[in-house]
Amino acid sequence: MKKNTARKLPIAATLRYTLLSFMAFMALAPVYVMVSGSFKTQKQFLDSPLSPPSGFNLGGYKSAWSDSFPTWLLNSFLIVTFSVILTLALASLAAWGFARFPFKGKESLLAIIVSLMVVPPVVLLIPLFKLGVTLSLISTLQIVVFIYMALMLPFSIYMLTNYFKSIPESIIESASIDGASTFQIFRIIVLPLSGAPIATLAVVNLLWAWNELLLALVFLQSNEKKTLMVGLTGFQSRYSLDIPTVMAGMSLATLPLVVAYLFGQRYFISGLTAGSTKGE
Amino acid sequence: MTSLLRPKLSGGNSNRRSALPSREALYWIAPACAVIIFIFGYSIVNLITQSLRYDGDWVGFENFSIVISDPLFLVALRHNLFLLSAVPILVLIAFILAITLFETRRGMRFYRSAVFLPYILPIPVVAVIFGQIYQLNGVLNTFLSSIGLDFLIQDWLGDPDIALGTMGSVIIWKEVGFGVILMLAHLISLPTETYEAAKLDGAGFWRTHFVITRPAIKTTLIFYAVIESITMVSWVFNYVYVMSNGLGGPGNATMVSELYIYRMAFQNNAPELAAAASVFLFAITLILLVAFFKIQRRSISKTFRS
């Protein structure tokens, strides 16, 4: 069907590729400016921001890395790792509870949890900050991990519940007949079947937590506890005259995400759809 | 590939399982619910009580009337509304790109990754790159003058009349890839017979897609529009904070409600007013959500339930 169209309407195909090339250019040009800028000297960037770098000038990377960059990177890494793993653990337990057992008010409870997805994070900011001050948890990684968990749980529970419900009853039934407990069924049958949605959630949550700025900005005030995003935001104003350093810092901050995306790409794309195409 | 996460059987209703005791469900659900109730429940209750007090004293709705008569808050809300009006454009661009990609075989993976790349970039990074691009003597203006389009040169971020539009373009640039991926995955999962029938009838590209595809992926379009509407009202802090160095400038040209709340609470030291503004924002988000589903004549639970 597609070949046909292409043969009959070469103009249409040309238009398509023109549109796509334009869009790819629009999407890639800023990334190109960032990566090429990181290898330039200040003068090269100002003279010709769009030309390719004349050599691999690593000065920008050196000064970006020598700042508090490694500390921020470690903080981001710790926060993301703990919050994502804990979220996935609690969400899969809860989702199994929702998918497996009938109980009164189940649908309403699930609906409430799902609707929490739309609560603006800024709404949580003031009460939690006060609480954080009272418990002296400001500038600790724990409080941020905990808040991130709460913000990531609703979507995670929703997606996993949908998935667990789709596991054929017969598989679970045969295990129950063999005398497996609910927990054994969960661990031996359900979890191994759910690699794809769990990997998707891991990537989605990882992207979100790595990029989150508002809560991290408010709760992590001392420089040793800042995440990469908070650090870089201040970084920009401090090095505003040193573009290669800023661009090098930005390139370094992006790299982990590109790697995570490439690893999880297969699951990620299909998994994102699960939330939207349901309910037909 | 979407079949991965779709029901393998049409089953999944709970009646069959009613033989199991319901108390056991609690053990599974409790840990997650505890975290959610602690963070959300505590915050929302605390926020509402705080918005009704000043210095610990009960003041009724006074904080609300102060906030609603603050011109800056109204400006901030108007800016959020302006950004909200970009959602139809965003959905349209994503839809056109998704169907174009869907019809493309050669190089599809490359174009798909390219269009999706902005979505995975950290917002501070995006904001910084575009800060450099949009500066008065930045990359865009240099480019425009080098191809002889000097008359298009603008002070993209410094001119109060266009700064918010510039901000909007950055948000669109970043968010469009998400919509493309959502729609594309849904398109691939549609049965091909639908298109074959249309092609046999001699329907052209636009007709096929606006008459057949658009209704077929309606749920995805709605889902994306809802998500992006919420983004425009209550998740644009990152862009604005980084691109305007935390000021919402030039002047108040890019002040948005989140930044207003943030500054009220942490710079003007008026947490009560910030709390009242947060309650407004929360209420607007809820109204928006309900209105959206009313317009679509669909219940929220229907869209979100499997």
Substitution target from A3, A73, A103 for chain B, most B beta carbons within 10 A = A103
Chain B residue with Cα closest to A167: B8
Cα A146 vs. chain centroid, distance in angstroms?
Answer: 16
Going from the C-alpha of B219 to that of each of A245, B27, B70, the distances in angstroms are 44, 34, 39
Looking at every residue in chain B, the average pLDDT score rounds to: 83
Chain A partners of B235 at a C-beta cutoff of 8 Å?
Answer: 120-121
How far B1 CA lies from chain A's nearest CA (Å)?
A: 6
The residue type of B177 is G
Range of the domain at A220: 60-277
With contact defined as beta carbons under 8 Å apart, do B224 and B97 qualify?
Answer: no
Q: What is the pLDDT of residue B300?
A: 46
What domains are there in chain B, each with its CATH number? 87-253 (1.10.3720.10)
CB contact under 8 A, A214 and B185: no
A250 contacts on B by Cβ (under 8 Å): 124-125, 128-129
pLDDT of B200 over the 80 cut: no
Tokens 């999407």 found at: A27
B36/A contact by beta carbon, under 8 A: yes
> By C-alpha distance, which of A181, A235, A168 is closest to B7?
A168
Residue A217 within a domain = yes
- Is residue B72 over pLDDT 60? yes
SS (H, E, C) B53-78: EECCEECCCHHHHHHHCCHHHHHHHH
In angstroms, the CA A247 to CA A32 distance is: 11
Model pLDDT, residue A269: 62
Q: Which chain A residues are closer than 8 Å to B209 by Cβ?
A: none
Position A37 in a domain? no
pLDDT at B6: 36
Query: With 60 as the cut, is the pLDDT of residue B303 above it?
Result: no
Contacts of A272 in chain B (CB under 8 A): 178, 181-182, 185
* Closest of A241, A200, A226, A249 to residue A63, by C-alpha: A249
Q: What is the pLDDT of residue A51?
A: 82
Determine the Cα–Cα distance for residues A92 and A128; give it in Å rounded to an integer.
Answer: 26
Tally: H helices and E strands in chain A: 15, 0
The confidence band for B14, taking pLDDT boundaries of 50, 70 and 90, is: very low
Phi-psi region of B87 (alpha: psi -120 to 50; beta: other; left: phi over 0): alpha
Whether A9 maps to a domain, the answer reads no
- Tell me if B167 sits within 8 A of B254, measured CB to CB: yes
**Total domain count for chain A?**
1
Q: Which of A131, A210, A271 shows the shortest C-beta gap to B122?
A: A210
| Contact yes or no for A150 and B39 at CB 8 A | yes
pLDDT at B227: 82
Q: For chain A, where are the E strands, in sequence order?
A: none
Chain length of chain A = 280
pLDDT at A9: 59
Chains A & B: contacts with CB separation below 8 Å: 347
Would you state the structure tokens that stand for residue B288, as one six-digit string?
A: 């928006």
CA distance B226 to B230: 6
What is the number of residues in chain B?
306
Q: Is residue A98 part of a domain?
A: yes
Positions of chain A with pLDDT under 70? 1-9, 266-280
**B41, B33 Cβ separation under 8 angstroms:** no
Q: Distance (Å) from the C-alpha of residue A168 to the closest C-alpha of chain B?
A: 6
In chain A, which residues have their Cβ closer than 8 Å to the Cβ of B274? Answer: 126
Contacts of B5 in chain A (CB under 8 A): 159, 162-163, 166, 196-197, 200, 270-271, 273-274
Q: What is the pLDDT of residue A273?
A: 54
Per-residue confidence at B17, pLDDT binned at 50, 70, 90?
A: very low
Q: Give residues 67 to 86 of A whose Cβ lies within 8 Å of B.
A: none
The residue written with tokens 């000038």 in the block is A57
Which one of A4, A16, A130 has the shortest CB-CB distance to B100? A16
Residue A27, domain member (yes or no): no
Three-class SS state of A78: helix
Kindly provide the b/e burial profile for residues B200-238, where b requires at least 16 CB atoms within 10 angstroms of the residue's own CB. eeebeeeebbeebbeebbebbbbbbbbbbbbbbbbbbbb
pLDDT given for residue B209 in this prediction: 83
Map tokens 């963070």 to a residue. B39
* Cα of B82 vs its chain's centroid, Å: 13
Is the confidence at residue B150, as pLDDT, over 90?
no
In contact, B160 and B253? CB cutoff 8 Å: yes
Q: End-to-end CA distance of chain B, in Å?
A: 18
Residues of chain A contacting residue B238, judged by C-beta atoms under 8 Å apart: 211, 213-214
Amino acid at A26: M
Cα B183 from Cα A276, distance rounded (Å): 9
Burial of B19 per CB tally in 10 Å (0-12, 13-18, 19+): exposed
Residue A85 belongs to a domain with what CATH number? 1.10.3720.10
- pLDDT tens digit string along B83-121? 999 999 999 999 999 999 988 888 888 888 888 889 888
Q: How many CB atoms lie within 10 A of CB B288?
A: 18
Of A16, A116, A217, the CB nearest to B36: A116
List CB contacts (< 8 A) between A113 and chain B: 36
Query: Which chain B residues touch A114 with a CB distance below 8 Å?
Result: 304
Give B143 to chain A, closest Cα distance, Å.
Answer: 8
Question: Which of residues 12 through 51 in chain A touch B, CB cutoff 8 A?
Answer: 12, 16-17, 19-20, 23-24, 26-28, 30-31, 33-34, 37, 49-50
> Cβ distance A80 to A208 under 8 Å?
no
* B203-220 pLDDT tens trace: 777 778 888 888 878 888
Give pLDDT, residue A106.
Answer: 86
Note whether residue A31 is domain-resident.
no
Question: pLDDT (tens digit, 9 = 90+) per residue, B151-173?
Answer: 888 889 889 999 999 999 999 99
- 3-class secondary structure, B210: helix
Cβ-Cβ contacts under 8 Å for B46 (sequence gap 6 or more): A127, A130, A131
Angle at B96 between CA B90 and CA B102, to 5 degrees: 130
User: For the segment A191-240, what is each residue's pLDDT rounded down to a tens digit?
Assistant: 888 887 888 788 889 988 998 988 999 999 998 999 999 988 887 777 77
CB A90 within 8 A of CB A275: no
